[in-house]
Amino acid sequence: MAFLKDLKGLLPQLGNPKFLHHLLEPLLLWGILIGVLAWILSLWFIKDRKAQLCSLILIALSAFTVLPVMHYRKKAAPITASSTAMLNAQNERRKDTQWVYYALGSLAVLGIFMTGENKGPLGTVIGITLTVGGIATVIFSLWLHEKEAAVFHPDSRRQARQLADDPPDKTPPAPRRAGG
């Protein structure tokens, strides 16, 4: 019964800008990652035009979610974070780098019309550019999400930082006693 009660409370959350921002933001990484993997599989291995179109549509839709993500991020202000300076820097970083997603989304839309059989060298160039640009955007998105984690979940970075700061234990093992 608690699940049904929580489910009823979910509908009003769909109007909450903070919730929508956090709901849509992972598409900038995971949607593009899945779309790029599907693109690579469909273009280079499966060679099926319908699969290529589906992957291009997924890449474009995922990349263009930067528009509602940034809209809801702005509308959700003030956002509570562990450090106001880090939050402001991340907001500026997000605002200044959203062109990456628009470029990839536009390239994916162009790819819908300009890739496939009998599209010549331009189609090949666009296909390769989509592959390389898609992989670069996934890596870029991963970097942005790591920066986001530093702002909203500073404890998630603590373990990695401790591993990097702590030198490995170089204490020699204790000598074994003979006979037992």
- The tens place of each residue's pLDDT in the chain, 180 residues long, gives 788 777 777 777 778 788 887 888 889 999 999 999 999 999 889 989 999 999 999 999 999 999 998 888 888 777 676 677 877 888 889 899 999 999 999 999 999 999 888 788 898 899 999 999 999 999 999 999 888 887 777 776 665 555 555 555 555 556 666 655
78 upstream amide cis, omega within 30 of 0: yes
* Predicted local distance difference test score (pLDDT) of residue 167: 56
* Predicted local distance difference test score (pLDDT) of residue 175: 61
* Predicted local distance difference test score (pLDDT) of residue 126: 92
133/104 Cα distance (integer angstroms)? 7
- What count of residues does the chain have? 180
Place of tokens 């909450």: 16
Question: To 10 degrees, what angle do helices 99-114 and 49-64 make?
Answer: 160
Q: Taking a C-beta distance cutoff of 8 angstroms, is the pair 141, 164 a contact? A: no
* Closest to 16 measured CA to CA, from 88, 67, 79: 79
* Predicted local distance difference test score (pLDDT) of residue 57: 97
